[in-house]
Amino acid sequence: QVQVVESGGGLVQVGGSLRLSCSASVRILAPWTMGWYRQEPGKQRELVANLGTGGVPNYADSVKDRFTISRDNAKNTVYLQMNNLKAEDSGVYYCYLIRFGNTFWGQGTQVTVSS
């Protein structure tokens, strides 16, 4: 069973930074996509950023120029560097992996940005 595990969430003040990590229990073989969605209470889950085999990142408009997604193939890990955090960035961040047409989700990590 493929496992996806997030880490790096926490509490930070507005304007601060956090780095999320997402590690897969299997080698990330092409074709693949990894990324994050986030969800606030009472709202739908929304895409934050993802990265695929081609290496071209995709970002939600609300996080462009503040968040950076990157990967370490040797560690089967994708990172999300979040800078200049805003209160509206708060939520549970879920990592996902799409591999050979199957989607695997992490358990989520809480990010709270306080003002």
C-alpha dist (Å) from residue 6 to 22, 23, 100, 115? 4, 7, 21, 25
Mean pLDDT of 67-81: 94
pLDDT confidence of residue 22? 95
Mean pLDDT value of segment 49-54: 91
- What pLDDT does residue 27 have? 80
Residue pLDDT, tens place only, 12-45: 999 999 999 999 988 877 778 999 999 998 999 9
Phi, psi values for residue 80, rounded to 5°: -125, 105
